[in-house]
Structure 1
Amino acid sequence: MTGDERFVAEPTKDPGTGRTPFQRDRARVLHSAGFRRLAAKTQVITAGEDDFLRTRLTHSLEVAQIAREMGVALGADPDVVDTAGLAHDLGHPPFGHNGEDALNEVADAAGGFEGNAQTLRVVSRLEAKVPGAGLNLTRATLDAVTKYPWERTPGTRKFGVYTDDLPVFQWYRRGAPASRKCLEAQVMDWADDVAYSVHDLEDGVHAGHVKVEALRDPDERRALCADVARWYSPESPDDLLEVLTELLAEPVVDGLIGYDGSHPAQARLKQVTSALVGRLSAVAVRATREVAGPEPLAGYAADLVVPRRARAECALLKGLALRYVMNRPGARERYEWQREVLTTLVDALLRRAPDALDPVFAPLWKAASDDAARLRVVVDQVASLTDPAAVAWHARLVKELR
């Protein structure tokens, strides 16, 4: 098989357009309903709280841009890595990772919930392009979208495919090394890390939640490094402290000090984010070239090499968003409310299905063979909703059941 094959054969497209199969993949994602819905799904700060802040849609566009430039530098097909960046979050539910955790709990009897496995389900089954095959993307693009090329196993939180989506997974993974990501998926994965670590920091600074001045306190620096070692990095807190100290001493970080939201302050903040994104992506390209040489790289010809220092810096940037944005005062109550919304919405839909499901999911419910399959349909429905839609559906259905 070649990388441009599709799971369901399609009529030959007009060759006069000059578009490659991978360019068609990119267009299919851009024009999909799931991609549009990302505009009202939370990144870190809740969607709609501030016009400056990012949503899943803007984040996906940024990931695609970073991935595309890295792909070009490495010799991979730029449209494959671009499409992987655009598509990588299509499976994320309302309320970001908090919503993902809530749906994983309620979907346990159906095989759990994982945003990346849901992305595969969306592009290969749920999107309305080719009946029975979703967007019917090419093998190469599906492989590039797959961050975690394995099934769910006991004790494993991250996985990339549900059991009933194995046929398409096994088709496009045929011949690939078990559990190994292709280079394009590795590029997308690192671009995702770079984008959300740097841009979540930018959003947190602009919203007033992250004040880098607080890190002048040695105790606060140590507490941050302890958080990062616990959640994001295999490095010890002491090693992270050394990296953090060096990072804070760099002139580029001065642009984060004393942020007041003015035009000059926003320009300085943007210079910081541009510099950090540029260096974290460029260092991975250089390190990969040092190992793999100058030839074009794609598929399984090489692995992306990300230096230890770059991973530590990225983890520290994630830690800033964790400590000062996601764990800020009042955030816990909001997260509990979000989980309650999704949990009770799933319960209400299970009791009201198929009548309460939309026209996409009601037929799938009727065709489901058992309770686990019906639960999966309801979870698919809830995961497809935007943040405001989830709140509205919850308010309406819970009220009707009272």
Structure 2
Amino acid sequence: MSKAKQGSTAGGPDYGQGLAPGARLPAPYAASAVLSRGRYHTEADCTTRSPFQRDRDRILHSTAFRRLIHKTQVFVYHEGDHYRTRLTHSLEVAQIARTMSRQLRLDEDLAEALALAHDLGHPPFGHAGERALDRLMEGFGGFDHNAQSLRVVMALERKYLAFDGLNLTWESLEGLAKHNGPIVEDAHASVRKVIERLEGWQSLEPARWASGEAQAAALADDIAYVSHDIDDGLRAGLLTLDDLEGVALAGGIVAGLPGDRLSGDRSRLTYEVTRRMITVLIQDVVQESRRRLAALAPDTPADIRAAGAAVVSFSPAMEADLRSLKEFLMRRVYRSRRVMDVMDEAQAVVARLFGLYLSDASALPEAWRAAQAGLSDRRRARLVADFVAGMTDRYALAEHGRLFDGTPDLR
């Protein structure tokens, strides 16, 4: 396959932004679809979409994205119709990323693509499934959902005749790889391992910060999950509005609710807390980022990457409040007995499936069984991890019921 650079030049296609009246053009420091660094495999330009719009559409149409509808966020999908899944979470992240990018004059399409793709590598049962796979893969390179998201878009999606993966632009790959910031050797060893194959093409510059769009998408992830985990916790009865009164950030919002909240519509009050929290967090990011942009005065996207620190950011005071709020959620929601009992059983499901597939290849579907023939133990383990990570919650439970006597209810 060709590895030639595909990116357009200033004389290439003019990808219209379709700007609404009064909207502003992207700033000079925004990622440029026209000057994209290209794709690993050479492709002709699309006449109707920019490279970043094309990335977004490929992600939306991917099998991995559709599977997110039945992958756990905090509560397993069948515990209630209105709890978030990885799919609804990703859609909320995309909306917040677009909003912040528009305010900061960044490229909304790239930010949206990164937001939609950031959880493609999550295994079934959320972080419980990730913890289980990481333990099981301890002797084979470990498991990390951020690295797995890269594996999905670089190799595991198989839809196109000319290549494996989605063949996303350099900018999208960079943003996914640096979802948690620059790739530090110890902290992000699994991500670094995945992107090594790109070095012969062009480096993702792991030590540098990602684009402003990637930074916006990462913060949108924080805003979305903190806000909607409070919403889900209230709806599940794990939290009350009174519980939130003394908590950083949330307490001030609860105190500002109108009227007597004890006699008010609980569902509307819950939504009001979430809505106001998202607004406050977005406003903080926009104000702090504008301050940092004014101080840096970047002229190009490269100036954002070379800044040496995040340019799109929460204010220091908001970062401190968010840390306190996340610690509260860890105690009261993520490590609540109700959630932990379900997640303990979910980890056991993942462990049993992985162990059986690794020891008995005949338990795998035919295509996966054929793919593991002749592989080393390490590569066979990675193949099994890829198969299990791609499962939805309900498929994992169905497979467990097929292969073992009895399946936990996970309620």
TM-score, structure 2 as length reference? 0.80
Structure 2 contact 71–126 (Cα < 8 Å) conserved: yes
- When residues 43 and 367 of structure 1 are mapped into structure 2, their CA distance, relative to the original with a 3 A threshold, is same
Distance 2:41 2:313 in 1: 35
Structure 1 position 299, deviation (Å): 5.5
Distance 1:129 1:390 in 2: 23
Matches within 5 A, 1:236-247: 244=247
Distance 1:79 1:379 in 2: 31
Structure 2 contact 69–87 (Cα < 8 Å) conserved: yes
2:236 maps to which of 190, 207, 227: 207
Identity of counterpart residues, as a percentage? 35
1:248 aligns with 2:255: no
Structure 1 contact 45–325 (Cα < 8 Å) conserved: no
Structure 1 position 271, deviation (Å): 2.3
1:186 aligns with 2:215: yes
Aligned match of 2:156: 126
Could you list the per-position Cα deviations for residues 255-294 of structure 1 after superposition, in whole angstroms to 9, with x for gaps in the alignment?
798579x8x4322322221221122122112111112127
Structure 1 position 340, deviation (Å): 1.1
Matches within 5 A, 1:342-381: 342-353=350-361, 355-358=362-365, 361-366=368-373, 368=375, 370-381=376-387
TM-score, structure 1 as length reference? 0.82
Residue type matched to 1:281 in 2?
I
Distance 2:156 2:116 in 1: 17
Structure 1 position 129, deviation (Å): 2.9
Could you list the per-position Cα deviations for residues 199-244 of structure 1 after superposition, in whole angstroms to 9, with x for gaps in the alignment?
100111111111131356xxxx6xxxxxxxxxxxxxxxxxxxxxx4
Structure 1 contact 129–136 (Cα < 8 Å) conserved: no
Residue type matched to 1:80 in 2?
L
Aligned match of 1:280: 281
Distance 2:126 2:232 in 1: 15
More helix by share: 1
Structure 1 contact 124–168 (Cα < 8 Å) conserved: no
Q: Matched residue of 1:140: which SS?
A: helix
Structure 1 contact 73–285 (Cα < 8 Å) conserved: yes
Could you list the per-position Cα deviations for residues 94-142 of structure 1 after superposition, in whole angstroms to 9, with x for gaps in the alignment?
1111111110010112210001000000011101134553011111111
Aligned match of 2:334: 326
Distance 1:359 1:259 in 2: 57
Root-mean-square deviation over aligned CA pairs: 2.8
Structure 1 unaligned spans of 5+ = 222-243
Distance 1:89 1:367 in 2: 31
- When residues 246 and 126 of structure 1 are mapped into structure 2, their CA distance, relative to the original with a 3 A threshold, is closer
Structure 2 unaligned spans of 5+ = 8-35, 407-411
Structure 1 position 391, deviation (Å): 1.4
Aligned match of 1:78: 108
Structure 1 position 182, deviation (Å): 2.9
Distance 2:170 2:313 in 1: 24
Structure 1 contact 140–172 (Cα < 8 Å) conserved: no
1:43 aligns with 2:43: no
1:144 aligns with 2:175: yes
Could you list the per-position Cα deviations for residues 132-169 of structure 1 after superposition, in whole angstroms to 9, with x for gaps in the alignment?
5301111111112221453763xx4x555263552137
Residue type matched to 2:209 in 1?
R
Aligned match of 1:228: none
Distance 1:74 1:185 in 2: 13
- When residues 82 and 246 of structure 1 are mapped into structure 2, their CA distance, relative to the original with a 3 A threshold, is closer
Residue type matched to 1:347 in 2?
G
